[in-house]
Homo-oligomer: A and B are copies of this chain.
Amino acid sequence: MSSPGAPVRVALLGCGTVGSQVARILVEQAADLRARVGRPLDLVGIATRTVRERPGVDPALLTTDAAALVARPDVDLVVELMGGIHPTLELLTDALAAGKSVVTANKALLAQHGGELFEAAERAGVDIYYEAAVAGAIPIIRPLRESLVGDAVTAVTGIVNGTTNYILDQMHTTGAEYADALADAQALGYAEADPTADVEGHDAAAKAAILASLAFHTRVHLDDVDCEGIAEVGAADIEAAEQIGCVVKLLARCTLSADGTIAVGVHPTLVPATHPLAGVRGAFNAVFVESINAGQLMFMGPGAGGSPTASAVLGDVVTAARNRVRGVAGPGESAYSTPGITDPGRVRSRHHLALVVRDEPGVLARVAAAMAHSGVSIQEVRQVPLPGDGAHARLSITTHVASTADLGAVVAELEASDDVSGRIRVLRVEGE
């Protein structure tokens, strides 16, 4: 294979789990990448926090001065895998302004500053690609941006955080409580020492903002995402889910509401075992897309890991490099739509209620009447005596689709009544 032109020169910001794999693949698959781009892809520098030996990485490439690397006139393409908001935002803004294309996996940055970055790329006539920012190796950004661009997407539902999926899966498999499953995930390297971003849903929320922006051709900010993590999911929730044929998943859900607004949320959700997302096990990710014309599509694969994420990064690098070789940029983000965010109280979903009631005649009738009075219709109900207690029963109620405001009102009313003991545990249920 010949090299008919000057190389496309790549600067790498960050050389951790993903960055080191990108560096490796740029070397190991150089011949194939060159054939696909039409020019060599040359890695000209790697900015890291500390300059130390890294296996398979030429130490001469390393620098701690990311700003100087980005500013080098011989850099065509900046691959950002350092994470964080500052100084990353400034580095990428400078890169784009200087006419360099950008590939990033930084979901938090995009969910908060995507608009500015996309506009900077548009102004400079260069590309910003970010396939690796959502669901690791799974191609989902490009399908939403391009394949489904002639369709009308109505909902995107994803398992987009492998750590929480692993923990919830373990809780189902072993019956473990949350804290034990988390400790297990940390010991195996599936969860970080500080698991906050994963278990509180922040990571999934950033991805939800990105998915919703693409699906609905708008700009959704991280702050627009209604976010609830899994730290309060207990073994009792898992058991209650299984009793009605469901599994608990942390779902990122982006939906077009009947009033034309969009709802974007992350919530632990009961998913019926028959739903394709229910079968997504361990640290895998999957994204389920519903659209007017295509119907239902699902994309599944590894959601994290150095080498899978590097695959997505390299796909973007080749695409951006091909564009540079041909002197063009790909189409920019389509953000012409301003649908507004659905009022959180008007978001509609099925719900599951787990509560303890006095085991007396008339209690179930009063609970059912309170729900009917609030316009919340019951789809399924189960009552079993509370073990070792003659006076109380456990109620498991699945509602039909209702607004969270109506649901909240009836939960407050029931919790205030003498029939109900303690708090009512409420979780969303996927489907209708």
Contacts and interface: CB of A to CB of B under 8 A. Distances in A.
Interface residues of A, number: 58
A310 interface: yes
A355 to B, nearest CB: 35
A334 B294 contact: no
A296 B281 CA distance: 13
Interface stretch (A145-153, A184-192, A201-209, A228-236): A145-153
A318 B147 CA distance: 9
Contacts of A394: none
A172 interface: no
Interface in A284-324: 291-302, 305, 307-308, 310-319, 322-323
Contacts of A314: 149-151, 293
A296 B300 CA distance: 8
Contacts of A318: 146, 149-150
A319 B330 CA distance: 10
B146 A142 contact: yes
Given A150-B311, A150-B317, A217 B35 contact: yes
Contacts of A323: 331
B151 A297 contact: no
Given A311-B148, A315-B150, A319-B146, A336 B294 contact: no
B150 A33 contact: yes
A337 interface: yes
A291 B298 CA distance: 19
Interface in A134-178: 137-139, 142-143, 146-152
A301 B293 contact: no
Interface of A: 1, 21, 25, 29, 32-33, 35-36, 131, 137-139, 142-143, 146-152, 217, 276, 279, 291-302, 305, 307-308, 310-319, 322-323, 326, 328-329, 331, 334, 336-337
